[in-house]
Amino acid sequence: MEPRRLLHGAGFTLPELLVALAVLAVLATQAVPTLGTLLARHRLALAAEDVRRHLEEARREARLRGAALLVRVRPGRDWRLGCPCPPRDSCPPCLDARRHPGVRLASVRPATGSLRFDGVRGLASPATLVLAAGETHCILRLALSGRVRRCGGGAHPC
């Protein structure tokens, strides 16, 4: 048997490794903004689904009680949706910005401060809620029928 000979020139030189690391660093800097956008879209989609579920639950609760219920809405960075409650009561908050950091309730139309659900006829006050995270936004439409539909918005739908 022949003894193993050391292969000269096997492996990488220091300059080659430095070039490879520099290329990886450039690629990583390109991926970071994309990752940030992806995370913002994910947070936005989770918040939109929570708001949609909250509004549908309010509609169901109004139907079960057979009476009108309100969901108080406060838009902004520290947004809040109240628990469904009778029109003259003060509603405690159920869903708010603390649960979804980085997501804001950009606007609510009409800006009445509350959404009404009629428990007798099963109807709701039509409204449009716009949630936003960074440059991405998501639109929730509350129809007269009380159904909530999630629509995309801008170049990046939720």
CATH of the domain at 147: 3.55.40.10
Domain that holds residue 29: 14-152
135 within domain boundaries:
yes
138 within domain boundaries:
yes
Q: pLDDT confidence of 156, banded at 50, 70, 90?
A: very low
Task: Tell me the residue type at 36.
Answer: G
Distance of alpha carbon 107 from alpha carbon 146, whole angstroms: 19
The residues that bridge with 96 in the sheet, in sequence order, are 80
pLDDT at 30 over 80: no
Structure-token match 């838009």, residue found: 75
- What is the number of structural domains in the chain? 1
Q: What is the pTM of this model?
A: 0.74
**Predicted local confidence at residue 38, as pLDDT:** 84
Smallest Cα–Cα separation from 150: which of 135, 141, 43, 53?
Answer: 141
4 within domain boundaries:
no
pLDDT tens per residue, range 57-76: 989 989 998 988 989 899 99
129 within domain boundaries:
yes
- Cβ neighbourhood burial of 122 (10 Å; 0-12, 13-18, 19+): middle
What integer is the mean pLDDT of 124-139?
Answer: 92
158 within domain boundaries:
no
80 within domain boundaries:
yes
Lowest mean pLDDT among 8-12, 67-71, 74-78, 121-125: 8-12
6 within domain boundaries:
no
Contact 109, 121 (CB under 8 A): no
Q: pLDDT confidence of 48, banded at 50, 70, 90?
A: very high
Q: What share of the chain in percent tops pLDDT 70?
A: 85
Please state the separation of Cα 58 from the chain's center in Å.
Answer: 20
